Chain A
Amino acid sequence: MDNAERLFNEIVKEYSERVYWHVRRFVNNHEDADDLVQEIFLKIWTALPSFRGEAQLFTWVYRIATNETLNWLRREKVRSALRFTSIDAEMERRIDSDPFFDGDAADRALSKAVAKLPEKQRQVFILRYYDEMPYEQMSEVLDTSVGALKASYHIAQEKVRSALGKDIFIGSD
């Protein structure tokens, strides 16, 4: 086993589960999350020779995962249009029909509200709220200033709160 393979196996061991949960929040379906995680790790393997170590490994992995997930979402948007439905409706359908969704009605409503956020705000919300990533790390992953991320998260929170009703606590900035 050479060094690249050893490093790749460490990445798989260390990050595959986190990447899965991250992706799953975007695609709202286990099968697609599974396919996408494989695509992401294939990409990581092919890009590994270009990893120079300037960025932290964690940041580099998350950046690839986030970019691949957004590409998938954009393709899904077109697929939905060709089926004469909207991506929002498709995501709602996925949340309602996911056999591996184990939450209550409030969790379901939260997932639906998050799925309706604009792309950038959804990214920020998922990284901050579900992945509990510090703003400094998010800033490296998304290549955006901490101030802009805090503003995005605040706006996303307000939209989610307004979709759910003010009485539900979804964390602070």
Chain B
Amino acid sequence: MSKRNDITTPEGYFGDLQKRLSEIPARPVRVSMVHRLAPYAAIAASFLVAVMLGNAILRHSAPASAEDDTWTYVSYLADALDPDGAAMMDLADYYGEDPEEEGLSAEDIVNYLLADGISVEHLNYLSYEEGF
């Protein structure tokens, strides 16, 4: 079984790629939205981790009554982006009750939303409004 010959590129690709990459220093410096928001994202992520840790501790002390905050938070964010709620019902069907079994964490969702242009202020507002 070959190691490298199973995937190819368009002809002359690497010459073109090197040319494009070598033009990067000449581009005007632009601080991306993600970079500008990175400190806020770190705060939002720390906040979520604290919520999740708190939830884990609570779950140990009151196992039957605690809801999964992460799932609720993800549901809430998705509801905000998809107001008719149809998407969340399908998501719940797809994942069962535990989206983290598929390795999807609240931090992944936050990173995705930030990279997609949702502002940290909006995320914080949604979190605050819902009491997360």
Residues in A lying within 8 Å of B, measured CB to CB: 4-5, 8-9, 12-13, 16-17, 20-21, 24-25, 30, 34, 37-38, 41-42, 45-46, 71, 74-75, 77-79, 81-82, 84, 86, 98, 100-104, 106-108, 110-111, 118-119, 129-130, 132, 168-170
Within 8 A of A (CB), among B1-18: 1-10, 14, 17-18
A4 to B112, CA, bound (A): 32
Interface string of B3-38 (1 = CB under 8 A from A): 111111110001001101110110001000000000
Residues of A within 8 A of B90 (CB): 84
Q: List 27 A-B contacts (CB under 8 A).
A: A5-B25, A13-B18, A16-B14, A16-B17, A17-B14, A21-B7, A25-B7, A30-B9, A45-B24, A74-B111, A75-B108, A75-B111, A77-B102, A77-B103, A77-B108, A78-B109, A78-B111, A81-B94, A81-B95, A86-B102, A100-B7, A100-B10, A101-B8, A102-B5, A111-B6, A130-B4, A168-B1
In the complex, B42 has a CB within 8 A of chain A: no
Chain A residues with CB under 8 A of B5: 102-103
Interface centre among A12, A17, A101, A169 (most CB of B within 10 A): A12
Give B residues with C-beta under 8 Å from A.
1-10, 14, 17-18, 20-22, 24-25, 29, 87, 90-91, 94-95, 99, 102-104, 108-109, 111-112, 115
Q: Is the CB of B1 within 8 A of A130?
A: no
CB distance from A114 to the nearest CB of B (A): 11
A4/B25 in contact, CB under 8 A: yes
Residues of B within 8 A of A17 (CB): 14, 17
**Which residues of the partner chain A approach B18 to less than 8 Å between Cβ atoms?**
12-13, 16
Which of the listed residues B4, B6, B21, B94 has the most CB atoms from chain A within 10 Å of its own CB?
Answer: B21
Contact call A41/B111, Cβ cutoff below 8 A? no
The smallest C-beta distance from A72 to any residue of chain B, in angstroms, reads: 9
Chain A residues with CB under 8 A of B112: 74-75, 78-79
Of chain B, the residue at the smallest CB distance from A84 is B90
Chain B residues near A25: list those with CB within 8 A. Answer: 7
Q: Determine if B6 and A101 form an interchain contact, defined as CB atoms under 8 angstroms apart.
A: yes
